[in-house]
Structure 1
Amino acid sequence: MIRPVEIAKTMKSISAVHIFSTFKDLKKRRFWGSGLWSDGTFYSSVGGASGEAVKQYIATHKQRG
C-alpha cells in the first residue's frame, strides 16, 4: 500500500524537476529552505475540509515558512 505522504513527496519531486527545468532562473532563488516545496502536506477528503479550513491552513503554513 502506498501512503499519501509518499504520493505527495513524489508529486513534489516530479513537479519541482519540471518547474526548474522549464524556468532555469528559479534555481538561483532561495525558497522556503533548500528546495521549492516545504515539508508540510495537507490531506482531506473532498467533504472533510471546508474552503475556510484550507485557507486557514495555507495562511498558517506561509507564516511558518
Structure 2
Amino acid sequence: MGYHVVWCPKYRSPVLGGRVKTRMEELIRARAGERGRRIVALEVMADHVHLFVKPHPKISPSHVANRFEGFTSHHLRAEFAHPRSRLSALWSRSCFVAAPGAGSAETAQRHMETQDQRPAKGTGRA
C-alpha cells in the first residue's frame, strides 16, 4: 500500500527553489529513512511537493502527510530566512492524499515525473 501525497506552501508561494529544494529533498529522504518508509517517487516543485511513499500499513494517510509537513517545516524555517519572513506558516492547512487503487503506482510515478512538462491549469503560467 502506498500513498500519493501532495502539499503546498501557504498561498502556494514559490519558496521551494534552489537550496531550499535540495534541502527539502534531503529532509524528506532522512525522515522516511528513520521511520522505515520507502520513497517510490519524490518531486519538489517551486510551489508544491509530490511524494509517493510506502509506509507501514497501520499508519493513516493523514499521519504520514502531517509528519512530513511538520518535520520539513521545522527544519526549513530554522535554516532559511525567506520562507520564515514571507509566510506566517510554511505549509497550507490542507493536503491531498490518495492511495492509487484505481490507478497503479507506476501511473502515479509517471504523473510525478512529467509534472514539470505540462502547462499549469488556471494559473496563467505555461
Fold similarity call, TM over 0.5: yes
Q: Which runs of 5+ in 2 are unaligned?
A: 1-57
Identity %: 22
Task: Give the one of 84, 95, 109 matched to 1:40.
Answer: 95
The structure whose residues are more often helix, as a share, is: 1
Aligned to 1:40, what secondary structure does the other structure show? strand
Aligned to 1:12, what secondary structure does the other structure show? helix
Q: Distance in 1 between matches of 2:90 and 2:78?
A: 12
State TM-score, norm by structure 2.
0.34
After TM superposition, what 4+ stretches of structure 1 lie above 3 angstroms from structure 2?
none
How big is the alpha-carbon RMSD for the aligned residues of Structure 1 and Structure 2?
A: 2.9
Q: Distance in 2 between matches of 1:5 and 1:48?
A: 22
The answer for the alignment partner of 1:12 in structure 2 is 69
- Partner amino acid, structure 2, of 1:36: L
State TM-score, norm by structure 1.
0.57
- Partner amino acid, structure 1, of 2:111: G
Q: Distance in 2 between matches of 1:9 and 1:44?
A: 16
User: How far did 1:28 drift?
Assistant: 1.5
Aligned to 1:41, what secondary structure does the other structure show? strand
The answer for the alignment partner of 2:84 in structure 1 is 27
The answer for the alignment partner of 2:111 in structure 1 is 51
The change in CA–CA distance for 1:47 and 1:25 in structure 2 (over 3 A counts) is closer
User: How far did 1:6 drift?
Assistant: 0.4
User: Could you report, residue by residue, the CA deviation over 1:6-38 in whole angstroms, capped at 9, with x for unpaired residues?
Assistant: 0110110000011001103321112xxx52122
Q: How many corresponding residue pairs?
A: 55
